[in-house]
Structure 1
Amino acid sequence: MTHAAIDRATVADRALTEDLGTAPGPSVPDPVFGAADRLRGTVVGAVLTIVAVITRFWGLTSPTDNGTPVFDEKHYVPQAWQVLTGGELLEDNPAYGLVVHPPVGKWMLALGEWMFGYGPMGWRFMSAVCGVVIVLAVYLVVRRMSRSTLVGAIAGVFALCDGVLFVQSRMGMLDIFQAVFAVLAFTALIADRDQMRARMHRVWEQGRIGDSPFGPRLGFRWYRFAAGVMLGLACGVKWSGAYFVVFFTLLSIGFDIANRRAYHVRRPWVGVLRRDLVPSGFSLAVMPFVMYVASFAPWFASETSVYRYSVGEAVGTGGPFSWVPSAIRSFWYYESGILEFHAGLTNAAGNHHPWESKPWAWPMSLRPMLYAIDYGPDQCGGSDCVRAQMLIGTPALWWLALPMVVWGLWRLVSRRDWRWAAVLVAYAAGIVPWFAEIDRQMYFFYATAIAPFLVMGLALACGDILRAAPRGASSERRVLAVLIVSIYVAVVIANMIWLWPILTGEPITNTEWGRQIWLPSWS
């Protein structure tokens, strides 16, 4: 009897035993992907998006430094304007000597400046748009992972109320762009997982799982391809996007192995090697590299871009790589200069900053950043007061980061909960690699990329609490679970409201300013 015939018989036996009410044969996952209440889910998503638009765009033009950019906006906002006005989509390289970040983030800023001019709205418009997109994407992906509109809504509320995502959505800096592309790549990978499960389930129902010991070919995977494009754009904002390329590629391969094992493919690991590894590598490793190089197309096309014609000047014309086209060799020289710049930006080399922080301080937002501050009676109608803007993670969220990680690891080990594997891998991609270069000068705004995955994990934890007391449980247990989650969500919202003045730069009294500084490390 062939394997295909055996599998078809297994399917028939499973259907028969289910009809008889006896134990079925080999089990496979239920083909349930996402929450079923589409109408309610759409309404909830629309409400979250509207609130995100209001909060991200309200008072977006403040604060400024006497009408000029604040903090690191002073670097990227003028560069974006030069991208827009220079005629070649390039910064004014002769003025800066070396541009140390790829161009995608500055193109995003330039788009806002093209629409609204060289002013605060122009500087920050695209950041605010990306902040709204992050809120919606967090809601949608958690709703899909948890199969619950309620848990997705909790994640959306947390994304709305996180101080890091909020402030970075209102600044003309680069990190919010990297965060949005990382979140979109993650969302695409989760959608790809569900789509591949659906395809595998269809093969199972058709009785074709045993046609090959390696399992079926699953066809072209547009979601995974889209994830690769998003990862390439993340790298095109900052090099640290490469960390997400590595971690998300491993996550996708893990999903593929689990998928083939769940449907009883006889050789799942070899099946992944033969069926999935090369396409995964192309979509999630090669495509980001192609996208990154493509983002430098204006550099290759320009006659005046920095280091464009280094061969023959800074780079010799001979040597073992003389066969490589001069444009590629010049590009390599340019990229190696950027690497040298970042490698030299270390504490050992004397690069210190009063608001510097190391990655061990990021999970609990122990060392936030002061972006802008102004004192004086003119700030609030004649009385002494302060107008300050700080990048600070909402304590009700960030102070639970380590418990969230511990809980997620427990769920992963004890329950094999794939949702926690996904969130923890994404969270690790944004923080773990930074421990490898601890002497480097670092700042808390580097943690922008982990903020979406922090709120996802906390929302999943709330979902776990609610699932621990399902509808069939005792009323007291159910009420307690709902009460715990409701109180926590209310605390998060209240914490955001409390921090609002120092997240937006609203004028407050000196006494109120002192109350906002909860820890000595915040000042």
Structure 2
Amino acid sequence: MSNWIDRLIINPFARSFARLSDHLIWLSGHPVFGVMVIVFIAFSTRLWNLDGTADIVFDEVYYPKFAQNYLHGETLFDAHPPLAKYIIALGIQLLGYAPLGYRCMTALAGALLPLVIYEFIWQLSDRRDWAWLTGCFVALDGLLLVESRYGLINTYILLFGMLSQLCMVLALKRSRQRWFWTLVTGLMLGASFSVKWTGLAYIIGLIAISAYIWASHRQKLNLPQIIIGLIILPIAFYFLQWIPHLMINPERDIWELHRQIFGFHQNLGAGKSEPIHPYCSPWWSWVLLIRPIAYFFEFRPNSMVEFVHAMGNPILYWLSAIALLICLTFLIASRLRFPPQLITQMHPKKRSQLFWFMFYVTSSFAAHWLPWSLSKRCIFLYHYMPASVFAFAALSFLVSLAWRSPLANIRAIGSGIFVSIAIAFLFWLPIYIGLPISSSYLPVLMWLRSWI
């Protein structure tokens, strides 16, 4: 009886997913078509109906106004460096002080981010399947989508930070253009922590990339390139970008300004018995997606609601958490010299690559996530965004390994993961982009009570 059921149901199901795997693997291996898929997902979801939601959503009460202050030469105090507000101001200058004007540049940055990450993974690893899967997962994440559609600043940290990673790989791989790409790496790194200081965490990724390329290709930067390109230039860029701000706000010098900013972050909600904001969440909860953030909620006629929920793709988050644990287990096992038999049978070069790729994603993830454990202030899920990209890269790497398996069932599992993430993205898309939905349907989307 069980054999009959297996032939009738299970085997056709597995064969269908195996065929799907073949199509997806083909798509990932053909960059023109694969990149077109990423472009379509990223640009259509980020740019569609940008001015269709309310004029002010969440922290848009701050950043577009700060950008307008810069355009009008009006004084302001902001708890972050000014670079992202300069960029938002450019959109306002082009399209006016309206939702489309102060959201367009962030939306463009968010749409480009999956493509930058695709190119980075490809240049780092020469693995089209890993690069394509990572680009798709980044495009299919809800939190990254929500943050990209409004006049907010976190998306710029990721864009500049991941550009620094890409340029570092190019600097090490292209010896004839090494100075150029080293300088661009420094500029992108400086731009990242010129949005928020947390962009400094990308330094760990630069070190891991350098270690991998030295171990595998014996390529490295010389001392002048490191000092000028990766130390002096980022710091110089950081201080230079403050000049317009200081010209508008001459009452504080650069050091007094930094002292006040540091004090603001140090004391935000510290020592309070109750959270200062209903959506504060502890750092450890982010990887499990326990407490998202409601950015906008409004009742509509006929029992409809418009709801924008800054929430990651749940299936993507939970599977990425498992993938990180698998990668960490492999790293520990390989250092203790008791890796699984499947790993020991690999060619030493492939085994070394496996170690370095997992080391890069886990160390970069830790660099962006663990420092928040020291924070005493009120923190939010969106602070997890830079770390989340590396969690997605860990999952996509394991899926790419499954796709390379000679066993059809293993390839089908990899494709099943991809399909489940894509379905989850479509399922929660209405509350990512603020589509009107029935108030009776909203509880269907709120799987956990802590999501409300």
TM-score interval for Structure 1 and Structure 2 normalised by the shorter chain: 0.7 to 0.9
Which of 339, 346, 362 lines up with 2:262 in the alignment?
A: 339
- CA shift for structure 1 position 395: 0.9
Tell me how far 1:386 sits from its aligned partner.
Answer: 1.6
Map 1:172-211 → 2, pairs under 5 A = 172-195=151-174
Shift of 1:248: 3.3
**Equivalent residue, structure 1, for 2:14:** none
**Partner of residue 295, structure 2:** 371
Q: How many Å apart are 1:250 and its aligned residue?
A: 3.0
1:228–1:360 Cα change, 3 Å? same
Q: Distance in 2 between matches of 1:163 and 1:172?
A: 16
Tell me if structure 2 keeps the 8 A contact 1:62–1:504.
no
CA distance in 1 between partners of 2:122 and 2:212 (Å): 18
* Residue aligning to 1:101: 80
Secondary structure at the aligned position of 1:400 is classed as: helix
Distance 2:52 2:370 in 1: 34
User: What is the Cα deviation at residue 143 of structure 1?
Assistant: 2.7
Structure 1 residues 306 and 519: CA distance shift in structure 2, 3 A: farther
Q: What residue identity is the alignment partner of 1:461? A: L
Gaps of 5+ in 2: 1-26, 335-350
CA distance in 2, matches of 1:295, 1:346: 29
The correspondence for 1:305, drawn from 229, 249, 253, is: 249
2:36 paired residue number: 46
**Aligned letter for 1:106?**
K
- Number of residue equivalences: 407
Inter-CA distance 346–284: structure 2 relative to 1 (3 Å threshold):
farther
Cα separation, 2, equivalents of 1:252 and 1:277: 17
Aligned counterpart for 1:407 among listed residues 289, 311, 326 = 326
Greater helix share, structure number = 2
Given that residues 364 and 400 in structure 1 are in contact (C-alpha distance below 8 angstroms), is that contact kept between their aligned partners in structure 2? no
Whether 1:429 and 2:375 are equivalent positions in the alignment is no
Pairing 1:514–2:421 present = no
Match for residue 33 of structure 1?
A: none
TM-score for the superposition, normalised by structure 2: 0.84
The structural deviation recorded for 1:357 is 0.8
Identify the residue that residue 490 of structure 1 maps to in structure 2.
419
State how far apart, in whole Å, the 1-side matches of 2:180 and 2:362 are.
24
Post-superposition CA distance 1:246-289 (Å, at most 9, x none): x2353255236525xx65x9xxxxxx7xx745532432233221
Query: 1:440 and 1:39 mapped to 2: Cα distance?
Result: 45
Instruction: Verify the 8 A CA contact 2:281 2:380 in the aligned structure 1.
Output: yes
Q: By how many angstroms is 1:335 displaced?
A: 1.1
2:59 counterpart (56, 61, 72): 72
> What's the CA shift for 1:144?
3.0
Match of 2:110 among 131, 142, 164: 131
Asked whether 1:461 is paired with 2:398, we answer yes
> In structure 1, what is the equivalent of residue 432 of structure 2?
503
Could you tell me whether the CA contact under 8 Å between 1:307 and 1:334 is conserved in 2? no
TM superposition shift of 1:220: 4.0
Q: Which runs of 5+ in 1 are unaligned?
A: 1-36, 87-91, 200-217, 266-271, 309-329
Q: Secondary structure at the match of 1:399?
A: helix
Alpha-carbon separation, structure 1, partners of 2:361 and 2:372 = 18
CA distance in 1 between partners of 2:150 and 2:390 (Å): 20
In structure 2, the residue matched to 1:89 is none
- Name the CA distance, whole Å, in 2 between partners of 1:347 and 1:333: 21
Aligned AA (1:61)? D
Three-state SS of the structure 1 residue aligned to 2:296 is: strand
Corresponding residue number in structure 1 for 2:233: 287
Q: Distance in 1 between matches of 2:271 and 2:381?
A: 19
Give the direction of change, closer, same or farther, for the CA distance of 1:105–1:429 in structure 2 (3 Å limit). same
Question: Are the equivalent residues in 1 in contact too, given 2:29–2:128 (CA < 8 A)?
Answer: no
Query: Is the radius of gyration larger for structure 1 or structure 2?
Result: 1
**The residue matched to 1:362 in structure 2 has which SS?**
helix
Matched residue type, 1:514 = P
> Once the 2 structures are TM-superposed, how far is the Cα of residue 102 of structure 1 from its aligned partner?
1.0
Query: Residue deviations 1:120-147, cap 9 Å, x none?
Result: 1112101111111111112222233442
Letter in 2 for 1:358: P
The root-mean-square deviation of aligned C-alpha atoms, in Å, is 2.5
Given that 2:158 and 2:386 are in contact with CA atoms closer than 8 Å, whether structure 1 keeps it comes out as yes
Write out per-residue CA displacement over residues 291-313 of structure 1, whole angstroms, 9 at most, x where no aligned residue.
1001012245x2x51434xxxxx
Q: State the secondary structure of the residue aligned to 1:420.
A: helix
Aligned partner of 2:389 in structure 1 is: 452
Residue matched to 2:215? 258
- Residues in 2 aligned to 1:360 and 1:54: alpha-carbon distance in whole angstroms: 32
| Deviation beyond 4 Å, 4+ runs, structure 1 | none
1:442 maps onto 2:376 in alignment? no
Deviates most, 401-410 or 234-243: 401-410
Q: Please name the residue that 2:131 is paired with.
A: 152
> Structure 1 residues 221 and 480 mapped into 2: Cα distance closer, same or farther (>3 Å)?
farther
| Mapped partners of 2:125, 2:399: distance in 1 | 11
- SS of residue matched to 2:212: helix
**Whole-angstrom distance in 2 between the partners of 1:297 and 1:110:** 16
Larger relative contact order, structure 1 or 2 (CA cutoff 8 Å, min sep 6): 2
Does residue 389 in structure 1 map to residue 308 in structure 2? Answer: yes
2:313 and 2:305 map into 1 onto residues whose CA distance is: 20
